[in-house]
Amino acid sequence: DVINNSGFTLVPSNGVISYWKGTDPRTDKLETMFEVTSDQNNSVGDGTLSAIYVSKPNGGSYGDILATKDMYDTYSFTDTRKGLISPQLRSGQIGTAYYSVKYPPNDGMNYDDVKILRFSEMYFIAAEAYYNNNDMINANKYLNLLVQKRDPLLIDASAGKQVLADIFNKRRK
């Protein structure tokens, strides 16, 4: 019912990167169903997600929460979400660090609009529900409706327990 009648829409592949930028609450029913906003009166200072995720050279504060190379490698080259992880050398350390850039710095303001519940989760719920009812056709259908918005060249057509593994792996991303 939520997928068919809520009026929410998924972010298209070419809008995923820009979707995560900005500090204005979303009112356009594009993906974000519930978020916690911050502004001049309600700010968490250096505790914003951009401060925690983004390194100092890139405008953040800490850059302490990193993706792993394993996580980065799960994204194909055609998956637009790969652009939300930035592999870089980390000052004073050996090797590459994989920074999340979902919450980019916002011109010195310590504001984040933290997306808590997104419309994409409804597709995972539907896919998992169909899987649990042994309806692999619809489980794959709902998973693919979402996945192709992120990676237009990817189509899942699994069977059996692999369908559930695909759902969990896509949810992880």
**Structure-token match 């979402």, residue found:** 146
Which tens digits make up the pLDDT trace of 143-168?
Answer: 999 999 998 888 878 899 999 999 99
Cα-atom radius of gyration of the chain, to the nearest Å?
18
Cα dihedral 45, 109, 53, 31, rounded to 10, equals 110
Query: For residue 55, what pLDDT band results from cuts at 50, 70 and 90?
Result: confident
**Structure-token match 């993906």, residue found:** 31
Which tens digits make up the pLDDT trace of 67-112?
Answer: 999 999 999 999 999 999 999 888 778 889 998 888 777 665 656 6
Please give the single-letter amino acid code of residue 117: L
